[in-house]
Amino acid sequence: MKNFIIGIGGTGAKCLEHLVYCCGAGLGPSQLWAGIIDQDEANGNVNRTKILLSKYINLRNSLKEEGKHDLGKDSNLLNTLIITNPDSVWLPLGGANPSLGKVINYDALKTEVQGLIDCLYNKEEKSQKLSEGFRARPNIGAVAMLATTSNEDDPFWAQIYKAVELAKGGEEVRIFLVSSIFGGTGASGFPNIARRIKSIQQKLQVTSNLHIGGALMLPYFTYEVPDKDMESEIYARPEEFMRQTKGALEYYSRLFKHNKIFDQVYIAGWDPLSKITNFKMGGNLQNNPPFFPELYGALGALKFFNKDNKISENQEVLHIGKNPTNDVVWSDIPDVSDELNSKESIAQLIRFAFSYNWMYGPALTGSWTKIKKYANENWFKRLVYKQTEIGHENNQEIISLMKEFCQDILVWIADICRSTAAHTDQKVDLISSDFFSEYKPKASENRVILKEKLNASEKSQFKEIITDSSNFKLLNVMSNVCYNKSIKGQRGLGVFMDTLFRSCKK
Amino acid sequence: MNIGRAMMSGGKSLIVLAPFAIISIWFIFTLFSGPSPSGAITKFFITVVEVGELEQQGVTFSDIAKDLFTMAAWINIWSLAIVTIFALGWSFGSHYLNVDAPGKAKIYAIHWIIVSGILIGLILITNIYCLESTYFRASQEVTGSGGGKITLILTVYYTLAYYLSVLLGTARFVRSSVLLANKLPGNI
């Protein structure tokens, strides 16, 4: 089975970010191609996901380097082979800062057609520069999406053609789109990209094996309207989200009634809305925090890709939401399948990230002179010393890559818990992060800062990091690392990394 | 939490302790069964008592031998009990020592030395109490050097049994705390 995921717009990119972490925890399929569509190329959220994807891919490749390192085929750590194009982001409108007027060649249109366009778009909308996205105007986004070509020469569309060809060849192919319903790029891209894939399918006369799924995010965040100077600007206005959503839902209701484009659609919503405190219109400064509902989008995608997910002939629309109280707890996270417990896997990844970042990573970093003081310890002898030359430059690079990835995991989960609940009555009770991080809600970058070192009392709070009263201590991790056996087929640093990951399982 | 592994450690510890305990128990039974005139044990005990002085008082070695053997048997019983408790206690308890960072196990070397010191102290106290007090009548017949010899032999024997037992029984992640234990191969 071949899987493809496309994150459309800022929300799509953020859902993809959650999905990458879930794949790191072993919740993903064995293979996945990932792409992002966003007109706002420099967008902070998109960039964050792009960087994360590249970190994941690099790290996984390093730990699967033939003859040197191997996590083993049964390891759940980074188990999904994620593939992207050299540039994972597809811009519907290339070129230097295009405007809607330029895209439709407004000046060259007949007067009566210009009149029609004038009825649909005001002057600002026509001249609005689109290099920072469609600013929550799906009417602009839809035109832009339809105005672009989707030929096989384009590296992004080449992947879609490849997917459809694979389905034609008899392989099962699943394509998943994820976006918000209320934004600009996402709202306009979601139905149009799906339709375009359908048209490619029809063009290539593929009637089976190709399934399209999607996740639509209903409004789940809001922000303070900026000062008066913004009045003439075009930007996503939170007060319009609900109205836009209503319109979009009515549209989808009609679409789904008459046209089967999607096999499964996951719809997630949130109430009360989370609050963004540092509104930015777009560009690299728009670096919104990861929010809990986006995890639903990611888990919806993973459920769709799961081999146990049997796709029926009928179009299915699945809804999800948290428990009715204002507390978000672990049981609000749905499982990917009967075999894949999301809570256990994510908790395991968090424990792994903590133990690696503050315990084992520092012990394995540096020259042999520094590291050799652990040479006689059981875990080191069995899992490191016998497997690889730890002080070697390449190994040190992998150790450092893993440390960075672990820090990203800790920042991600701490940011979800703090930012989803910030300035609302909600409480995201998934992890306890106060003892290892500092949170700055107003900051657009480095909202969560991890402590460099932890003292003994902070380390002892590891048992409370996952708020499920499991009482899993660092001592348990240290003990498990010494007793867990390596698995046949593992090599090099893969032996230690996977053993540590397994040791973090409750 | 680590109950399974702790039990396994206790098992390993017992396996190493077993040969020492078997010898010890055999010795205790032999001592309780009384002296044999030509036995090696009898010959040893003759060397630790003032046979000449006894004869001056009209007492032969065979008159006090049974009491002497009983005393030695009880010293062994208590020493074996102490060693078993300490070896199993350390092996089992090592799983609960709060090692939360690589290299931290070395700190527990201090704890191990203290535990080992207490064990040696208790063996010495047992010996000294039995050999120097009036609890056993036979203790007054043992010479100073003879008492020292018994104490030395038993202390070395039971300390060795304890050390080998904890060497194998200590939790893997705390091995650095036990002298030379971190030289053991990983999978033991």
Amino acid A468: pLDDT: 84
- Among A378, A380, A464, the strongest candidate for a mutation testing the B interface, having the largest count of B CBs within 10 A, is A378
Q: Which two tokens stand for residue B188?
A: 């033991």
Of the candidates B105, B171, B186, the beta carbon closest to that of A382 is on: B186
| A positions 431-490 inside 8 Å of B (CB) | 456, 459-460, 462, 471, 473-476, 478-479, 481-483
Of A94, A100, A253, A263, give the one whose Cα is nearest residue A194: A263
Determine the residue among A376, A453, A472 to mutate to test chain B binding: the one whose Cβ has the most chain B Cβ atoms within 10 Å: A376
Q: Which two tokens stand for residue A287?
A: 């670096």
Q: What token pair was written down for B71? A: 């005393």
Q: Are A479 and B2 in contact (CB < 8 Å)?
A: yes
Sign of the C-alpha dihedral, residues A441, A446, A449, A450? positive
Closest to A213 (Cα-Cα) out of A156, A298, A154:
A298
Higher per-residue confidence, A253 vs B72: B72
Nearest-by-CA chain A residue for B101: A359
Strands A264-268 and A210-217: parallel
Q: Which of B96, B100, B172, B183 to mutate to test the interface with A (most CBs of A within 10 A)?
A: B100
Residue A480 confidence (pLDDT): 95
Token pair of B125 as six digits: 């106290």
Can you give the residue range of the structural domain that contains B76?
A: 3-183
Rounded CA separation A112/A103 (Å):
18
Contacting residues for A300 by C-beta, under 8 A, at least 6 apart: A178, A213, A215, A266, A268, A318, A320
Which residue in B8, B91, B168, B172 has the most chain A C-beta atoms within 10 A of its own C-beta, making it the best mutation to test that interface? B172
- For residues B105 and B101, what is the distance between their CA atoms, to the nearest angstrom? 8
Nearest to A363 among B103, B172, B175 (CB): B103
Residue with tokens 């204002």: A326
Q: At A460, is the secondary structure helix, strand, or coil?
A: helix
Distance CA A459, CA A477 (A): 12
C-alpha A413/C-alpha A426 separation (Å) is: 16
Tens of each residue's pLDDT in chain A, 506 residues: 899 999 998 899 999 999 999 999 999 999 999 999 988 777 888 999 999 999 999 999 999 988 899 999 999 999 999 999 998 888 887 766 778 888 788 888 899 988 988 898 888 888 877 776 776 677 777 777 777 766 778 888 899 999 999 999 999 999 999 999 887 788 888 988 998 899 899 989 988 899 999 999 999 988 776 665 556 665 666 777 788 888 888 888 888 888 888 999 999 988 888 888 766 665 666 778 999 999 999 999 999 999 999 998 888 888 877 888 889 999 999 999 999 999 999 999 999 999 999 999 999 999 888 998 898 899 999 999 999 999 999 999 999 999 999 999 999 999 999 999 888 888 999 999 999 999 988 887 889 999 999 999 999 999 999 998 788 999 999 999 999 999 999 999 999 999 999 999 98
Give the per-residue pLDDT at A96.
Answer: 61
Residues in B touching A359 (Cβ below 8 Å): 100-102
> Helices A185-203 & A241-258, crossing angle to 10 degrees?
20
The answer to whether the Cβ–Cβ distance between B5 and A479 falls below 8 Å is: yes
pLDDT digits (tens, 9 = 90+) for B29-56: 999 998 888 889 999 999 999 888 888 8
pLDDT for the residue numbered A280: 64
A400 DSSP assignment: H
- Over 90: is that where the pLDDT of B148 sits? yes
**A354 Cβ under 8 Å from any chain B Cβ:** no
User: A286: buried, middle or exposed (CB in 10 Å: 19+, 13-18, 0-12)?
Assistant: buried
Which residues have a Cβ under 8 Å from the Cβ of A46 and sit 6 or more positions away? A10, A13, A36, A38, A40, A89
For position A284, what pLDDT does the model report? 65
The 10 Å CB-count burial string (b at 16+, else e) for A18-28 is bbbbbbbbbbb
Nearest CA in chain B to A463: B100
The percentage of residues in chain B with a pLDDT greater than 70, rounded to a whole number, is 99
Interface of B with A (CB under 8 A): 1-2, 5, 95-103, 105, 171-173, 175-176, 182-183, 185-187
Q: What amino acid occupies position A22?
A: C
Decide if B188 is inside a domain.
Answer: no
Ranking A137-151, B136-150, B160-174 by mean pLDDT, the lowest is A137-151
Question: Which residue reads 């991890």 in tokens?
Answer: A450
CB count within 10 Å of CB A427 equals 14
Quickly count: other Cβ atoms within 10 Å of residue B28's Cβ. 19
Burial of A474 (0-12, 13-18, 19+ CB in 10 A): buried
Say if A368 is an interface residue toward chain B (CB within 8 Å): no
What's the CA gap between B57 and A245, in Å, rounded? 113
With tokens 């018994």, the residue in question is: B150
Per-residue HEC secondary structure of B78-122 comes to HHHHHHHHHHHHHHHHHHHCCCCCCCHHHHHHHHHHHHHHHHHHH
A319 beta partners:
A267
Interchain pair A476, B2: CB under 8 A: yes
How many CB pairs lie under 8 A apart between chains A and B?
A: 70
Give, for A428, the enclosing helix (H) or strand (E): strand A427-428
User: Which residues of chain B lie closer than 8 angstroms to A474, CB-CB?
Assistant: 100-101
Contacts B95 to A, Cβ<8 Å: 479
What CA–CA distance (Å, rounded) separates A368 from A375? 10
**What is the tally of structural domains in chain B?**
1
Closest CB to B103 among A374, A378, A476: A374
Selected for mutation to probe chain A from B9, B91, B104, B173 (highest A CB count within 10 Å) is B173
Please tell me what DSSP assigns to residue A219.
P
| CA proximity to A242, closest of A261, A262, A221 | A221
**Residues A125-148: b if buried by 16+ CB within 10 A, e if exposed:** bbebebbbbbbbbbebbbbbbeeb
| Amino acid present at B163 | Y
Contact B173 A373 (CB under 8 A): no
Please, which pLDDT band fits residue B168 given cuts at 50, 70 and 90? very high
Report helix, strand or coil for A351. helix
Strand blocks (E) in A305-378: 316-320, 327-328
Asked whether residue B157 is assigned to any structural domain, the reply reads: yes
Query: What SS3 state is found at A38?
Result: coil
Name the pTM for this structure: 0.91
Q: Which two tokens stand for residue B65?
A: 């031998």
Estimate the share of chain B in helix, then strand, then coil, as percent rounded to the nearest 5: 80, 0, 20
- The pLDDT of residue B33 is 92
Rounded CA-CA distance A418/A436 in Å is 13
Q: What is the DSSP letter of A131?
A: T
Look over chain B and give the mean of its residue pLDDT values, rounded to a whole number. Answer: 93
**What is the predicted pLDDT for the residue at B37?**
80
- Whether B103 is in a domain gets the answer yes
Q: Which of chain B's residues have a Cβ under 8 Å away from the Cβ of A506?
A: none
Residue B186 has its nearest CB partner, among A360, A378, A460, at A378
ipTM of the complex: 0.87
For tokens 């996503």, the residue is: A236
- The answer to whether residue B126 sits within a structural domain is yes
Q: Which segments within chain B are labelled E, that is strand?
A: none
Half-sphere exposure of A71 (CA within 13 A, CB side): 23
Nearest-5° Cα angle at A429, A423 to A431: 110
Partner-chain contact B172 A380, CB within 8 Å: no
Question: Residue A273 carries which DSSP code?
Answer: P
Specify whether the CB–CB gap between A19 and A177 falls below 8 A.
Answer: no
Distance CA A414, CA A433 (A): 6
**Any domain includes B142:** yes
B1 pLDDT more than 60 = no
Omega within 30 of 0 (cis) for the link into A272: yes
Cβ pair A378:B182 closer than 8 A: yes
B100 and A475: CB-CB below 8 Å? Answer: yes
The reply to whether B72 falls in a domain is: yes
Specify the higher pLDDT residue, B59 or A331.
A331
Q: Which domains, from first to last, does chain A contain?
A: 2-92+150-327 (3.40.50), 344-503 (no CATH)
How far is residue A181's CA from residue A187's CA, in Å, rounded to a whole number? 5
Residue B19: band (very low, low, confident or very high) from pLDDT cuts 50, 70, 90: very high
Nearest chain A residue to B3 by CA distance is: A476
DSSP-derived secondary structure for A410-421: HHHHHHHHHHHH
For the residues B91-109, what does the mean pLDDT come to? Answer: 94
- Inter-chain CB proximity A473 and B186 less than 8 Å: no
Q: Residue A378: its pLDDT value, please?
A: 93
Tell if the CB–CB gap between A482 and B1 is shorter than 8 Å.
Answer: no
d(CA A459, CA A316): 46
Cβ-nearest to B99 among A363, A462, A478: A478
Residues in chain A: 506
Instruction: Select from B1, B103, B173 the Cβ nearest to the Cβ of A482.
Output: B173
pLDDT at position A226: 64
Buried b (16+ CB within 10 A) or exposed e, B144-157: eebbeebbeebbeb
Q: ∠ at Cα A184 (A413, A4), nearest 5°? A: 60
| C-beta of residue A471 within 8 angstroms of C-beta of residue A463 | yes
Query: What is the pLDDT, as a whole number, of residue A225?
Result: 66
